Amino acid sequence: MSDAELPQPETESTQLDEDDRLKPEFVDAVLDAVEDGDDEAVRQLVEPLHPADIADLFELTPSERRPALAKAIADLLDGEVFAEMNDYVREDLIDALEPHEVADIASELDTDDAVAIIEDLDADDQREVLRAMEPDDRAAIEEALSYPEESAGRLMQRELIAVPEHWTVGDVIDYLRADDALTTDFWEVFVVDPSHKPVGTCKLSWIMRTPRPVPLSDVMQREQTLIAVDMDQEEVALRFQKYALISAAVVDGSGRLVGMVTVDDIVHIISEEAGEDALLLSGAGEGDINEPVITSYRARVRWLIANLATALVAATVITLFEGTISKMVALAALMPIVAGVGGNAGTQTMAVTVRALATNQLTESNTLRAIRREISIALLNGVTVAIVIGIAVSLYYQHIELGGVIAAAMMANILIAGLAGVVVPLTLERLRADPAVASSIFVTMTTDSMGFFVFLGLASASGLVG
Amino acid sequence: MSDAELPQPETESTQLDEDDRLKPEFVDAVLDAVEDGDDEAVRQLVEPLHPADIADLFELTPSERRPALAKAIADLLDGEVFAEMNDYVREDLIDALEPHEVADIASELDTDDAVAIIEDLDADDQREVLRAMEPDDRAAIEEALSYPEESAGRLMQRELIAVPEHWTVGDVIDYLRADDALTTDFWEVFVVDPSHKPVGTCKLSWIMRTPRPVPLSDVMQREQTLIAVDMDQEEVALRFQKYALISAAVVDGSGRLVGMVTVDDIVHIISEEAGEDALLLSGAGEGDINEPVITSYRARVRWLIANLATALVAATVITLFEGTISKMVALAALMPIVAGVGGNAGTQTMAVTVRALATNQLTESNTLRAIRREISIALLNGVTVAIVIGIAVSLYYQHIELGGVIAAAMMANILIAGLAGVVVPLTLERLRADPAVASSIFVTMTTDSMGFFVFLGLASASGLVG
């Protein structure tokens, strides 16, 4: 074999670009073939794709053309593809299927993936799909649905390997080889006591490196992270991150093993939860580009109206100083600078604080330190920006007092912004509200109103005008 | 055993709160014992902690008290604790250690974790630490350091299991049991050809479920995701997410297996990269609360100065209309509303677009669709907000024309904001710049300037004043 050979299979180059995204030409080729009714050509193009890429293909296809694509590759459209698909795109497709077809797809999957597909259906469809399933699968899914949304109970799969403590390594290997009905994909074996409570976990690599006669209790790790079945998925994700878990046992209220969460389900949640904050801080709701327009509109307009209300407060502050402004119209041009740069400084501090709270880095132990730190940074930022704007305004307007007033106002507003940016999210967290959701409204209102108030107030009080 | 027994080990309750963070009382108790010089008490408190919690303990300790804590628990401060620690906190501690102590700590770790500790040292210290290491470890780390920062070469560990294709399941098990020097923690076995190129992977669970005489080539999966050694860590993270990988083979330019990346190293990167966008969009740089004040100041003040420059552009727009404002000062109070709400609408669209780009959801195939979608949402938002503000202003000022002007300006600015919010990040991405870093400056400048221009321009042109 020559050194020039590429590590990636050759087929990928025609479908995926260097960033591992489907090439637009490939998507077009598939959609052209769908349009021509050439199902054989569609199949040939799509078959080599990984399920995750087939799911992407649907997301990249305009919604009105998805049903035709689904029809052309009906036999490739299995549970795994649905499990990988964006929620909105999946809902659309699932809605077009018969209940027994959905039941067939769900039956192929582990509980967690089947639940993800079924939980979004409306109550009637859900009932019909469940009725079309095998009793065992049905019971597992009904139980999962009985747990709160976004809890470990919804995330977990019931397919796992649990063995008694008194077994040897050899017993485990024989058990795994003998029973064809066992799950095939697992990374750890859970060791349980007679009442089915976990007493330890054993990585498969440890078992494989150990001679057959060694008792499992000598190989297993007794300290383990157990997940309560009603734990919120964000909490579950934080534990997986913190303790570098690959899989973890899920236990019910009485401590009995009821399921397993695996890291591949968690990576999506980690990414979602971490990425969510940028969207929440901006008031864009879930911010999925596959979300229906009307859903996005509802989420965003609420925020804009709230923002409008806070802008009206700031406008009222300005109204107090209309007399001052009418005597020196330059103030009207300059006041948005004080408010705007202050708003930005506040947003910086707020983003840092929200992130530190979300990652459990900021707790009661270091709250005071974090506030002191933000004030120090705000002082440095304030002095720098005040000097720049002070000099610029003094020179441009040939008016040193005006330069002095805007410099002082800028300094004050950046300090206020730094304080608001750290105190607002901390207070919301203390009140058990999500700091990412509501912080920016309060911080912006503070920096806008105070920016206008301090600048116009100083201009008025300093005898700059009239 | 009674049902009332809690699933978590009892010790956790005194150290960790319900969100799995160290309790402030516990941190205080440790620090008090450190202050009293009672090393035995410190040890007793800290010993039961997981390495990740010991790392957290250091992060929660004020920086001036960390060296004393480190001294008190020197023997508990192993490589794993350092691997879990925040970069800034770790650098601080490592700086206080002798090169041979750092070398000892690094030697305990897999290559990736050792590299994480050593890569941040300055060149002289790095050389000294490397000189104090065993030749094998040293060679592995020097090779890793030869790859670009944040590349797969830095992330990967060289400890992995690679076996020839012609082996049977039994051969693999015997090999793993016989050689004590092999790594103990792995999830998959890589199958390689005689030139050490990967030809397939085998999950341990598949091997364990298969009888000994079966050849590995019948069990392994031939389709696998290979990671190029110079691939950026963000790309690596996206592949792990997309293909739900637990571990992946890293190959050099000629396709030979050189290392393995495992998912536990990836979850940190997924979280970092996803959370980073909120910080970058706000101009807060890396935004770590453990960052030195001066580093945060440098990162943030650059952004505030850039913001100041764009605010000056908006101020210039206002200056054009000073005549109009002096005739009707109410315009000065109202104009920030148009700019502010527009800015918010732009930020919403921008956050959604940046997120979709970061997750590879938005490609050339659906760009036009995304733009159309954002325009539709902007139209709906614009109409709604325009009606509300139009009515409010008409009533408050008893001036229907003024209400009409602000409604029209608001509608126009929200539309402009929606367009800028999607086009700016898309353009930056096309230009191979990071859309999260620069988008908000451009979007804010657009919504501020256009907000003032459209509102004051309409007020002036409509004959509302003078």
For residue A465 the two structure tokens come to: 């005008």
Q: Are residues B151 and B176 in the same domain?
A: no
For residue B158 the two structure tokens come to: 């060289």
Residue B2 domain-assigned (yes or no): no
| Contacting residues for A99 by C-beta, under 8 A, at least 6 apart | A125, A128, A129, A131, A132
Residue A308 domain-assigned (yes or no): yes
Q: What is the CATH number of the domain that holds A436?
A: 1.10.357.20
Please tell me if residue A223 touches chain B, with a CB cutoff of 8 Å: yes
Q: Are residues B190 and B133 in the same domain?
A: no
Q: Are residues A414 and A371 in the same domain?
A: yes
Q: Are residues A203 and A348 in the same domain?
A: no
Q: Which chain A residue is nearest to residue B315, measuring alpha carbons?
A: A333
Least confident of A46-55, B174-183, B392-401: B174-183
Q: Are residues A67 and A135 in the same domain?
A: yes
Q: Are residues B274 and B317 in the same domain?
A: no
Q: Please give the backbone phi and psi of residue A111, each rounded to the nearest 5 degrees, phi first.
A: -50, -45
Residue A2 domain-assigned (yes or no): no
Task: Return the number of CB contacts < 8 Å for A and B.
Answer: 426
Please tell me if residue B245 touches chain A, with a CB cutoff of 8 Å: yes
Name which of A219, A344, A426 to mutate to probe chain B: the one with the most chain B Cβ atoms within 10 A of its Cβ: A344
Q: Are residues B72 and B209 in the same domain?
A: no
Q: Which chain B residue is nearest to residue A19, measuring alpha carbons?
A: B235
Residue A287 domain-assigned (yes or no): no
Is this complex's ipTM strictly greater than 0.95? no
- Nearest by CB to residue B333, choosing from A238, A305, A322, is A322
Q: Are residues B262 and B299 in the same domain?
A: no
Please tell me if residue A320 touches chain B, with a CB cutoff of 8 Å: no
Sort out which chain A residues have CB atoms less than 8 A from B316's CB and list them: 333
Please tell me if residue B365 touches chain A, with a CB cutoff of 8 Å: yes
Please tell me if residue B257 touches chain A, with a CB cutoff of 8 Å: no
Residue B1 domain-assigned (yes or no): no
Please tell me if residue B27 touches chain A, with a CB cutoff of 8 Å: yes
Name which of B30, B219, B281, B308 to mutate to probe chain A: the one with the most chain A Cβ atoms within 10 A of its Cβ: B308
**Strand pairing partners for B221?**
B201
Q: Are B425 and B439 in contact (CB under 8 A)?
A: yes
| CA atoms of A6 and A9, how far apart (whole Å) | 7
Residue A3 domain-assigned (yes or no): no
Q: Which amino acid is at A284?
A: A
DSSP letter for each residue of B397-417? HT-HHHHHHHHHHHHHHHHHH
Q: Are residues B452 and B320 in the same domain?
A: yes
Residue carrying structure tokens 């007092």: A401
Residue range of the domain that includes B445: 293-461
Q: What angle do CA B107, B108, B112 make, to 5 degrees?
A: 80
| Contacting residues for A189 by C-beta, under 8 A, at least 6 apart | A161, A162, A163, A172, A201, A202, A204, A207, A216
Tens digit of pLDDT at every position of chain A (466 positions): 343 434 444 444 688 988 889 999 999 999 999 999 999 999 999 999 999 999 999 999 999 999 999 989 988 988 889 988 998 999 888 888 888 888 988 888 888 888 888 888 888 888 999 999 999 889 989 999 999 989 999 999 988 999 999 999 999 999 999 988 888 889 999 999 999 999 999 999 999 999 999 999 999 999 889 999 999 999 999 999 999 899 999 999 999 999 999 998 899 898 888 888 889 999 988 889 999 999 999 999 999 999 999 999 999 999 999 999 999 999 999 999 999 999 999 999 999 999 999 999 999 999 999 999 999 999 999 999 999 999 999 999 999 999 999 999 999 999 999 999 999 999 999 999 999 988 999 999 999 999 999 999 999 999 888 6
- Nearest by CB to residue A208, choosing from B208, B334, B336, is B208
Sort out which chain A residues have CB atoms less than 8 A from B185's CB and list them: 203, 205
pLDDT for B112: 85
Q: Are residues B341 and B364 in the same domain?
A: yes
| CA atoms of B137 and A150, how far apart (whole Å) | 44
Q: What is the CATH number of the domain that holds A71?
A: 1.25.60.10
Distance from CA of A198 to the nearest CA of B (A): 9
Q: Which of B261, B282, B303 is the last residue of a domain?
A: B282
> Around A181, how many Cα atoms within 13 Å sit in the side-chain half-sphere?
0
Q: Which of B155, B185, B204 is the last residue of a domain?
A: B155
Residue B255 domain-assigned (yes or no): yes
Q: Which of A282, A311, A341 is the last residue of a domain?
A: A282
Q: What is the CATH number of the domain that holds A208?
A: 3.10.580.10
Distance from CA of B173 to the nearest CA of A (A): 6
Residue A24 domain-assigned (yes or no): yes
- Nearest by CB to residue A211, choosing from B177, B187, B300, is B177
Q: Are residues B278 and B335 in the same domain?
A: no
**From the CA atom positions of chain B, what is the Rg in Å?**
30
Q: Please give the backbone phi and psi of residue A452, each rounded to the nearest 5 degrees, phi first.
A: -65, -45
Q: Please give the backbone phi and psi of residue A157, each rounded to the nearest 5 degrees, phi first.
A: -110, 150
| Cβ-defined contact of A333 to B315 (cutoff 8 Å) | yes
CA A172 to chain centre: 38
pLDDT for B341: 96
Q: Which chain B residue is nearest to residue A292, measuring alpha carbons?
A: B373
Domain count, chain A: 3
| Rounded-to-10 torsion of CA A332, A337, A340, A345 | -150
Per DSSP, which regions of B297-443 are E strands?
Answer: none
Please tell me if residue B240 touches chain A, with a CB cutoff of 8 Å: yes
| Cβ-defined contact of B345 to A235 (cutoff 8 Å) | no
Q: Are residues B239 and B299 in the same domain?
A: no
